[in-house]
């Protein structure tokens, strides 16, 4: 399926204004969080060979933009959604795309975004003794470096 065919198909899933084609083999789709799972299910069912490449997040100050990067042998589609920082919550796409579990766990660990219906919500990246409420990819996160202790140094 070429770019134009994918774009036409995507326009049947979401409003035409929500689809952008900035470069060959790169398509962007914007969707509300409430429509995310339905869009991913339709992309998987009606577009060929879809898999999740990665999921990334951007702290935009008052909100987070979450980007779901999907690919096949002919290009990629990035699905964008935005959630408020006051209530950072997303539905899990692990139903249609089970391999998304690791990326969604990363969103929880690094941004503090709650992912509803995540099959395995355990922390993945942060150490067991990591302080609750500290999310290192948030713009407002501050790192207080502990005093360095050099074994055998001054007594």
Residue 135 falls within a domain, yes or no? Answer: no
CATH number, domain containing residue 44: 3.30.460.80
Task: Provide the residue-wise pLDDT of the chain in tens; the chain has 155 residues.
Answer: 889 999 999 999 999 999 999 899 999 999 999 999 999 999 999 987 678 999 999 999 999 999 999 998 888 999 999 999 999 999 999 999 999 999 999 999 999 999 999 998 888 888 888 888 888 888 887 777 777 888 876 65
Q: Answer yes or no: is 12 within a domain.
A: yes
* Of 105, 103, 112, residue with least CA distance to 135: 112
What's the total number of domains in the chain?
1
Residue appearing with tokens 């470069």: 23
Is residue 133 a part of any domain in this protein?
Answer: no
Distances (CA, A) of 60 to 95, 121, 136: 28, 24, 14
Q: Give the structural domain span for 107.
A: 3-116
| 47 in a structural domain | yes
């Amino acid at each position: 399926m070429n770019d134009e065919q994918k774009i036409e198909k995507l326009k049947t899933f979401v409003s035409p204004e929500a689809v952008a084609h900035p470069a060959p083999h790169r398509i962007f789709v914007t969707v509300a969080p409430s429509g995310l799972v339905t869009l991913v299910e339709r992309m998987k069912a009606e577009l060929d060979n879809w898999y999740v490449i990665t999921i990334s997040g951007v702290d935009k100050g008052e909100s987070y933009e979450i980007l779901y990067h999907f690919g096949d042998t002919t290009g990629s589609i990035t699905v964008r959604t935005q959630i408020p920082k006051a209530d950072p919550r997303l539905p899990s796409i692990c139903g249609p795309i089970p391999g998304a579990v690791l990326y969604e766990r990363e969103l929880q660990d690094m941004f503090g975004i709650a992912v509803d219906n995540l099959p395995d919500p355990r922390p993945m990246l942060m150490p067991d003794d990591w302080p609750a409420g500290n999310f290192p990819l948030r713009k407002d996160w501050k790192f207080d470096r502990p005093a360095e202790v050099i074994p055998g140094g001054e007594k």
